[in-house]
Amino acid sequence: MTTVKIGSRKSKLAMWQTETVARMLNEQGIATEIITMETKGDKILDTSIAKIGSKGVFTEELEDMLAAGAIDIAVHSAKDMPSQLPEGFSLIAFSKREKAYDVLVSDDKSIDLNDTSRKLKIGTSSVRRVSLLKHFYPHVETVDMRGNLQTRIKKMQNGDCDALMLAYAGVFRMEYSELIVATFPVDKFVPPVGQGCIAIEAGKIPEEKKKLVRDCLNNLESETCLLAERAFLKTLEGGCSIPAFALATLDNDTITLSGGLVSLDGQRQIRHTITGPGKDAIDLGNQLGNKIIADGGKDLLAEIRSQQG
């Protein structure tokens, strides 16, 4: 019997994703073995992701295991994946996507983001979320908040912040939906590339095994949308440290791709939307990225990188 060795981070959310993948493979008669580890992004919690200085803070160690043949596939949150993978690695499948929007989580149900008289502290480790909050809610204070979902919620409950800004997908999967006090509409708070989707990475895996995994796990709609979003991010040469955003939707094989870039102080936004056939997903992503660059994005990206040092 074919056995697929699956690599994963150790956090509860990462394990939820990995166990979901393993269950899907098992249901098709494919045996699995799960191998867990901690990545640089899991270990370094006193520094923002933007300052750790690595494009693969949650992926490098898993890629080392793929390269060594210790695992066949690695399970990731798609939003953690760099837009450019190292040579020899590829994303071979994408899960059906959960709702991609951001939410505000708190024990305090009275929180109202529109109440400018109240000083609110919102915890987040995302430069995109910080920049968009500064743009839409400049009266709100943000505090850097690293760690897994459970750790961040505990920090909030200990008084480090009033609320957390998180991806709905993780909150839902970890069964914290009762803590949601607000949702952020995707037309204003466009999510990061890949949010809500699980990505399956492979190295030098035998073609037969790769086909087995892909046939079992890949959701074609998700893949089409993610190809467009990731092409957009690659054109910007963006990663976790850049406040870029993009969301693709597919309707009757027509992609609508919205994306852009926001300055670190939230004062300036560049965003555009384009549409086209699903078969042109990568080309559409490239087009949108080039449109953003031509519309002032080149200078804004240079400014962002200089400010981040």
In terms of domains, do 80 and 206 share one? yes
- What mean pLDDT do residues 248-263 have? 97
Residue 246 resides in a domain: yes
The reported pLDDT for the residue numbered 37 is 82
Given 80, 112, 162, 251, which residue is catalytic?
80
| Confidence class for position 251, pLDDT limits 50, 70, 90 | very high
Q: Give the Cβ contact number of residue 40 at 10 Å.
A: 16
In a shared domain, residues 158 and 89 = no
Same domain, 88 and 208: yes
Q: Quick: pLDDT tens for 19-53.
A: 999 999 999 999 999 999 875 544 444 444 444 34
Q: Please indicate, yes or no, if residue 29 is contained in any of the structural domains.
A: yes
Is residue 191 included in any domain, yes or no? no
Question: 51 and 139 in one domain?
Answer: no
Residue 119 lies in a domain: yes
Asked if the structure places residue 30 within a domain, the reply is: yes
> Three-state SS string across the chain, please?
CCEEEEEEECCHHHHHHHHHHHHHHHHCCCEEEEEEECCHHHHCCCCCHHHHCCCCCCCHHHHHHHHHCCCCEEEEEHHHCCCCCCCCCEEEEECCCCCCCEEEECCCCCCCCCCCCCCCEEEECCHHHHHHHHHHCCCCEEEECCCCHHHHHHHHHCCCCCEEEEEHHHHHHCCCHHHEEEEECCCCCCCCCCCCCEEEEECCCCHHHHHHHHHHHCCHHHHHHHHHHHHHHHHHCCCCCCCEEEEEEEECCEEEEEEEEECCCCCCEEEEEEEEEHHHHHHHHHHHHHHHHHHHHHHHHHHHHHHHC
Residue of 83, 131, 70 lying closest to 230 (CA atoms): 83
45 and 125 both lie in a single domain: no
Q: Mark whether 46 and 130 lie in a shared domain.
A: no
Are residue 141 and residue 115 in the same domain, yes or no? yes
Residues 251 and 292 in one domain: yes
- Is residue 190 assigned to a domain? no
Predicted local confidence at residue 98, as pLDDT = 97
Residue 62 lies in a domain: yes
Residue 211 has pLDDT above 50, yes or no: yes
Q: What is the pLDDT of residue 121?
A: 97
The pLDDT score that the predictor gives to residue 249 is: 98
How many whole angstroms from its chain centre is CA 61?
A: 18
Same domain for 209 and 87, yes or no, is yes
> Does the annotation count 115 as an active-site position?
no
Q: Read off the pLDDT of residues 69-118 as tens digits, 9 standing for 90 and up.
A: 999 999 999 998 888 898 999 999 999 999 999 999 999 999 999 999 99
Question: Is the pLDDT confidence value at 54 over 60?
Answer: no
> Residue 109 belongs to a domain with what CATH number?
3.40.190.10
- For position 49, what pLDDT does the model report? 43
Question: How many domains are there within the chain?
Answer: 3
If asked whether residues 233 and 255 sit together in one domain, one would say yes
Per-residue pLDDT tens digits for 195-210? 999 999 999 899 999 9
Report pLDDT digits (tens) over 134-193: 999 999 999 999 888 999 999 999 999 999 999 999 999 999 999 999 999 999 999 999
**Residue 92, pLDDT score:** 97
Same domain, 224 and 212: no
In the numeric block, which tokens belong to residue 205? 């895996």
Tell me what pLDDT residue 43 has.
Answer: 45
For the chain, percent of residues with pLDDT exceeding 90: 82
Mean pLDDT of 106-131: 95
User: Does residue 229 fall inside a structural domain?
Assistant: yes
d(CA 172, CA 6): 23
Name 280's Cβ contacts closer than 8 Å, sequence gap at least 6: 255
Domain extent at residue 25? 1-95+197-218
Whether 125 and 211 map to the same domain: the answer is no
pLDDT exceeds 60 at position 305? yes
User: Is residue 63 within 8 Å of 56, Cβ to Cβ?
Assistant: yes
Average pLDDT on 270-279 reads 98
What is residue 55's predicted lDDT score, i.e. its pLDDT? Answer: 46
